[in-house]
Each structure stands twice: as C-alpha cells, then as structure tokens.
Amino acid sequence: MNQYTLNNRKKIWLWVELILVFIGLPLAFFLYREWLASWVIPTLIVFGILCLSLLLADPKFKRFRLWNAQQFPLHHKQMLLLFFPGSLLLALSCWWLIPDSFFSLPMESPSVWLLLLLVYPLFSALPQELIFRTFLFHRYKKIIPKKKGRMFISSLSFSLAHLFLNNWIAVVMSFFGGLLFSMRYIQSRSTAVAAAEHSLWGLFLFTCGIGVYFDGAASIN
C-alpha cells in the first residue's frame, strides 16, 4: 500500500470523525434532549479534556496557542469596541422582547449570578473554545486547508451544538458568535483570548436576560 493511499484513508477517516463528532453528536443531544440535558456540561468538560489531551500528544501542535498571553494587549481594545455597542443592542433587545427577564438574574438571584461569573469562563467558555476552535482548527487542517473553510465549519458545528436548547434564537446567535470567536482565534492564535471574548459575551447574555434562550433546563419543556 503506497503513501498516497494511506493519506487518502486518513483523510476519509478524518471526515467521518468530523461528521460524527461535530454534527452527529449535537443532533443526538437534540433528539434525546429530555434524557441528555443534564449531561451537557459534564460531556462538554470531559470532551474538552480529551481534546486538550489529543492536542498535547500531537507533536505538530504548537502549544503556545493555548495561552499566547502577549496577544491580550493587542486584542482587548478590539474586543471591547465590539462588545460595548453589541451589549447595548442585546440589552435593548431583551428589554423589548422579554422585559420580565431584563437583568432579572443579578437582581433576583445575585448569589447564582456571582457563581455563574466564576464558573462559566472555566467550565463552559474554555472547554468550548478548546473543542470548537483550537482542536477543530488543528485536527482538520489537512482536510480543510483554508482557514475560512474551518471557520465556517467551526461556526456551524458550534451552532448545532446549541440545538438541544430547542429554540432558533440560540442556534442563530451561536452561529454568529462562532464566527466572531473563530476570527479572534485566527487573529490571535490564542485559545485564552478566544475564551476571554466568549466569556465576556456569554456572561452578559445571562446578565441582561437574553440568557433565558440558553437555559438548558428550559429546553426540555
């Protein structure tokens, strides 16, 4: 068997893996959300650890991408310039569409809100960025060589991963959020920077009230 055949088989298996993990698994969580809803975060954490382990075991992976702290000063202004008008739009949208949820979490459940501020970046945003940005961009580079192609696949799979929430607003917002976080990862080459931006937007969604669309407990009702 020649090297060309081996490479083709590897590419086929990578496509199969990509489809099963990043399309099939989200669809399974959507179809069986009544039984799997409570397993979303544990699955996310375990899968994030698995992706990190695979990355660290791959000699071709550039480990500096996991942190790359010098990129923070280069990107924090861009992040904030985009966040301030975007957060205002989100807040106004929440006030207009679901006024009962407008900043309800910090006002009615401040202890839950403070806990969320602590755990969301580490147990939600970071695993998601490891999986949908760092791992996906590195793992499937051979079969999707163009960054724009990987950015689209990353955003699409990130959107599909929110199907279990059972509402189109979460799915659509996740797609555009995926585009933003993918662009940030490409520009910064830093998981930490992408996770920081993800945390910023995610925490504000729950703070202002739009987070009701991202409430996993409500998805099974």
| pLDDT tens per residue across span 13-47 | 999 999 999 999 999 999 999 999 889 999 999 99
Integer Cα distance of 33 and 40 in angstroms: 9
> And the tokens for 190?
């830093």
What's the pLDDT at 90?
Answer: 97
Query: Are the C-beta atoms of residues 111 and 168 closer than 8 Å to each other?
Result: no
Q: Number of structural domains, the chain?
A: 1
What's the pLDDT at 7?
Answer: 84
pTM: 0.94
Q: What is the DSSP letter of 179?
A: H
Q: What is the overall mean pLDDT for the chain?
A: 94
Provide mean pLDDT across the span 139-160: 97
* Tokens 């008008």 found at: 85
Greater pLDDT, 2 or 157: 157
Greater pLDDT, 216 or 102: 102
Integer Cα distance of 217 and 51 in angstroms: 26
Give the up-direction half-sphere exposure of residue 87: CA atoms within 13 A in the CB hemisphere: 19
CA nearest neighbour of 161 among 208, 87, 216, 118: 216
What's the pLDDT at 37?
Answer: 87
Q: What is the DSSP letter of 7?
A: H
CB atoms within 10 A of CB 119: 11
**pLDDT tens for each residue of 179-193:** 999 999 999 999 999
For residue 68, pLDDT beyond 70: yes
Percent of residues, the chain, with pLDDT higher than 70: 95
What's the pLDDT at 27?
Answer: 96
Structural domain of 106: 3-220
What's the pLDDT at 216?
Answer: 73
What's the pLDDT at 197?
Answer: 98
What's the pLDDT at 2?
Answer: 58
> And the tokens for 6?
């081996």
User: Taking CA 131 as the corner, what is the angle to CA 178 and CA 14, rounded to the nearest 5 degrees?
Assistant: 105
